[in-house]
Structure 1
Amino acid sequence: MTKLTGDGAARRIVADIKEQIHNGAYRPGDRLPSTRLFAAEWGASRTTVTAAYGQLIAEGYLTSRAGARAEVAQGLGRAAAPKPAIAAAPRHLSAFAQRLAGLPVPALAQPARIADFRYGDLSGADFPVLAWRRAMNRASVRRGARLAYGDPQGSADLRAALQGYLWRARGISCTPDRIVIVNGSQQGLDLCARLLLDAGDRFVIENPGYLLARQAFAAAGGAAIPIAVDGDGLRTDALPPARLAYVTPSHQFPLGGILSATRRRALLAWAAREGAYVVEDDYDGEYRYDVAPIPPLQTLDADMVIYAGTLSKTLSPTLRLGYLVVPAGLRQAFSAAKRLTDRHSPLLEQEALADMLASGAYERHVRAIRRKNAERRALLLRALADRLGASVTVEGADTGLHVVIWVNGVGAGRVGAIVAAAQAAGIGLHPVSPLYDPAGPQPATAGFILGYAGLHADALRQGVAVLATVLAGFR
């Protein structure tokens, strides 16, 4: 008979002996057969059985003494009957963890047969596969003799390349040492929250506004002061005392207003009086259509404004690459916080992006994707006009990658039913109402965010056609 040998046979013997111990066939103190006898019973080589016994001794299942057979270790009797799986309450949670536990849990995205208008998605077909692959290959080949941790602020090559890009694309003048590479702008917001807010500190935030920003600041212990927005962005006529303000001045999220020059000056004057910082989220600043590019707030005061940018709206949200431009006085704090958080963002991807920026491939890609999304935007607006006409009011179409529609004559109380009907009809529809402060006034009219950057032309047309049919049943 061929004897069982090798690691696989040893693993099978180990698993069999463990099962017999747990089932009570072997009890604490029982001696196991000698390796010679066990090998004969199993048809295994003695070397294999000896290796299996050695593994069980190392794991604490068996004990051994010189010249004696291995014994089952004490405390390993028959396993108790399994208890029903009940999530035990944590022994202790920090105040931060308790605040996190109090935040609403987002629902899992449901697949849509025809079109999902979820904001933030990009079309997979738009990703610059060849340019990215070439850049990644070059970055891989250029690896150093030693693979080591890098600067927590990010690759020096990438920060130098971003300095030039931000000057060309957004008019931002900064030195590379004021740029911090982060895992998407969301990590940047989290760092701002942890470094600038203590428990109980107040922060100003747009209402409606970006939900994950509000949650990041609240999780750090901040107290939200929601401020209404209108067509000119955040209303600055009566800003209260606070430690921080979060704004999206170039394209207010979600309603699309652009912060006026007067309000920009008023916001910065408020920050100077309060000794506060302004966090400027320029989440989709590359996309301008019917208006000229708006200079970032950071260009007006680099010492009070923290500028947050992202690659999620130009390359892919899956890459998790973003950046902050911080005032000189905050550089050390952000660098130290980034080091403790995750050492640094992935270096290979950073070097690939630096390569694309240096070669001009990234800016060529931005120009191409801007044209494609301008075409999607035009198609969506045309379809909304043709299918829905005056039954909806469209906001925020001049910039960015989404629009907001308000369904005229339909109350906000019917939003849930509309979303369910849309899902049943094959489209994903996402309401505006969760972006409003839950403790304040809510919109009276049903409103929805329509993201279009992830959809091809046919999906946009069919999606709007289905949307028109769904809404017809609620008017």
Structure 2
Amino acid sequence: MRTSSGAGELLVELHRDNGVPLHQQLESAIRTRIRAGLLRPETVMPSTRALAQDLGLSRGVIVEAYQQLVAEGYLISRGGGYTLVADIAVVSPTAAAKPGAGPPRIDFRYSRPDVSQFPRAAWLRSVRRVLNETPNRSLAYLDGRGTIELRTALSDYLNRVRGTAARPENMMICNGFAQGSRLILQVLAAQGHTRLAVEDPSDNDLREVAAAAGLETVGIPVLNSGIDVDALERSGADVVLVTAAHQFPTGAVTSADTRAALVAWAGQGNRLVIEDDYDAEYRYDREPVGAMQGLAPDRVAYAGTASKTLAPGLRLGWLILPSWLVEPMSQAKLMDDRGSPVLDQLAFADFVAHGEFDRHLRRMRPRYRELRDTLVERLAARVPELEPVGVSAGLHVLTWLPADLSEEALREAALARGLGVYGLKPYWVSGDGPAGLVFGYGSLSRQEVVEGIDLLAEVVAALRS
């Protein structure tokens, strides 16, 4: 049952001097809105008494109109005085438009965790506690950093699990990494920074954000040990974004020497390292690698998100900021949206503080590892020339392509078979790098992974024949 439209929420234009009975005008107006889909099925109509008072009509006129629409099947009368909109065929001006091809049946698109495993029961317990126990003052406007409860819970968690040097006063809650990165680039540009260095290859979304903020973007090659710091030094950049724990998309892990060199680079002049720790909680075949932020808290801004660990739809992200960035970032956040939703922050704080975040991650790691193992084993069995790299952590695998296969041809041929595969080309900053495929497997079942690679093997064989 949908929310009542209520008196005052049903806009009806009546003409008392055109000779058409008022009940017929009301019938026509409601009928037209239902047919157009503007009053959706199961919407509760205003009561006859309330609507009569709102429109300045006798109740008998409203009753007569409702009875006629019930007889025609547009409305349903229920016990207790409820009148609902019936489920009828809706006439849409776009109904004749040709439908699209639709999404692939098996989709290896990256950045999709298994949201079906979202811990609903545990989250509901946190929501209930928050609703029952949160003082009224916590529902008022906050400062731009977010609730102290979540900043405290996250600083304790990140210091324990990721080796950060976080303090609640230096943390800021944001609506995912998308908002956090946009705000930090805007603030840095306003402070006089001019050039952003990014790993090459890397996620391409941030380049557009940097351009909008007025920053020039330059790509820096990624080595097996992480970003090439010598090339970074030559680039003239004063800000660099790195995915040190698990480089996207190559999977490279930044070595201890490279981390030290990055910290030394940041210590020269007015420079900053932005560390995107997007999926460090998922590791399978190696020891955990601590966050760079713990090495140089005043030269490294740390960014994390619940998008890969819980669900992207939560839009929960966080930043650990150098002390000199806290106040300008707090002001930028307030100017942007007045702060992230309080109840969501408090629920997540409770979720983390009660150990539910740890339990969820412990449950998901073996599930994702099984999917990773299945993907790697099936590639080796069916398409051995696509050798995966960077498989020790995360929710994606990269494979380089042999010279006789193109990304575009593979993508189009696979899509024709209901399979979504995605090339590496969009991630090259230079626009000219080796061809490859990026496989995201987090949202798939084991059977879908097997079937997907089998389809890919057929596509490769067909292209080569």
Give the TM-score taking structure 1 as reference length: 0.76
Structure 1, unaligned runs of 5 or more: 1-5, 18-31, 54-107
Distance 1:164 1:51, change over 3 A: closer
Q: Which of 149, 152, 155 is matched with 1:160 structurally? A: 152
2:304 to 309, 324, 331: 309
Task: Say whether the 8 Å CA contact 2:7–2:54 is kept in structure 1.
Answer: no
* Deviation per residue, 1:37-57 (Å, 9 max, x gap): 88799799xx9799579xxxx
Output the CA distance in 2 between the equivalents of 1:230 and 1:132. 40
Structure 2 partner of 1:120: 111
Aligned to 1:395: 389
The corresponding residue for 2:354 is 359
Instruction: Provide the rounded CA distance (Å) in 1 between the counterparts of 2:409 and 2:54.
Output: 67
Contact 1:202–1:225 at 8 Å: present in 2 too? Answer: yes
Q: CA deviation at 1:200?
A: 8.3
- 2:401 aligns to what SS in structure 1? strand
Please state whether the residue corresponding to 1:280 is helix, strand or coil.
strand
**SS across alignment from 1:473:** helix
Secondary structure, counterpart of 2:318 in structure 1: strand
Q: Tell me how far 1:473 sits from its aligned partner.
A: 2.2
Q: CA deviation at 1:399?
A: 1.2
For residues 292 and 365 of structure 2, what CA distance do their matches in structure 1 show? Answer: 22
* Shift, 1:264, TM fit: 1.6
Q: Are the aligned partners of 1:184 and 1:322 in contact in 2 as well (CA < 8 Å)?
A: yes
Q: Which whole-Å CA distance do the structure 2 matches of 1:282 and 1:250 have between them? A: 7
Residue identity matched to 2:400:
W
Distance in 1 of aligned mates of 2:381 and 2:177: 37
Counterpart amino acid of 1:242? Answer: A
**Alpha-carbon contact 1:396-1:403 (below 8 Å) kept:** yes
For the residue of structure 2 that corresponds to 1:409, the secondary structure is coil
C-alpha separation in 1, matches of 2:188 and 2:281: 28
Equivalences for residues 62-461 of structure 1 within 5 A: 110-113=102-105, 115-145=106-136, 147-198=139-190, 201-238=194-231, 239=233, 240-389=235-384, 391-411=385-405, 414-437=406-429, 440=430, 442-444=432-434, 446-461=435-450
Q: Distance in 2 between matches of 1:398 and 1:362?
A: 22
Kept after mapping to 1: 8 A contact 2:425/2:431? no
After superposition, the Cα gap between the structure-2 partners of 1:334 and 1:40, relative to the gap in structure 1 and judged at 3 Å, is closer
Aligned to 1:99: none
Q: Offset of 1:343 from its aligned partner?
A: 1.1
Deviation at 1:215, TM superposition (A): 1.9
**Cα deviation, residue 435, structure 1:** 0.6
Asked if residue 463 in structure 1 is aligned to residue 456 in structure 2, the reply is no
Identify if the C-alpha distance between structure 1 residues 200 and 178 changes in structure 2 by more than 3 Å, giving closer, same or farther: closer
Whether the aligned pair in 2 keeps the contact of 1:155 and 1:350 (CA below 8 Å) is: yes
* Structure 2 letter corresponding to 1:403: V
Cα distance in 1 between the residues matched to 2:54 and 2:125: 52
Cα distance, 1:11 vs. partner? 5.5
Change (3 A) 1:322 1:441: closer
SS at match of 1:254: coil
1:182 and 1:188 mapped to 2: Cα distance? 6
Q: Is the 8 A contact 1:271 1:304 kept in 2?
A: yes
Change (3 A) 1:141 1:228: same
- Contact 1:207/1:436 (8 A) holds in 2: yes
For 1:279, give the aligned amino acid.
Answer: I
SS at match of 2:371: helix
Taking the aligned partners of 1:177 and 1:40, their CA distance within structure 2 comes to 63
In structure 2, the CA distance between the partners of 1:110 and 1:451, relative to structure 1 (3 Å rule), is farther
How far residue 112 of structure 1 moved from its aligned partner, in angstroms, is 1.4
Q: Over alpha carbons, which structure has the higher Rg?
A: 1
Counterparts of 2:463 and 2:445, CA distance in 1: 27
Q: Where does residue 67 of structure 2 map in the other structure?
A: none
What are the superposed Cα offsets for residues 68-97 of structure 1, whole Å, 9 maximum, x if unpaired?
A: xxxxxxxxxxxxxxxxxxxxxxxxxxxxxx
CA shift, 1:7, in A, is 6.8
3-state SS in 1 of match to 2:230: coil
Is the 2:165–2:293 Cα contact (8 Å) retained in structure 1? no
Distance 1:109 1:261 in 2: 48
What CA deviation, in whole Å up to 9, does each residue of 1:355-374 have, x standing for no partner? 11111111111111112111
* Cα RMSD (Å): 2.7
Helix, strand or coil for the counterpart of 1:134? Answer: helix
- SS of 2:177's partner is helix
Deviations 1:164-200 (A, max 9, x none): 1001110112210111011011111001110002588
Change (3 A) 1:363 1:40: closer
Deviation at 1:262, TM superposition (A): 1.8
Is the 1:39–1:49 contact (alpha carbons within 8 Å) kept by the matching residues of 2?
A: no
What is the DSSP-based 3-state SS (H/G/I as helix, E as strand, rest coil) of the residue aligned with 1:245? Answer: strand
Distance 1:126 1:52, change over 3 A: same
Q: How many residues align?
A: 388
- Contact kept, 8 Å, 1:241 with 1:274, in 2: the verdict is no
d(CA) in 2 for partners of 1:122, 1:443? 28
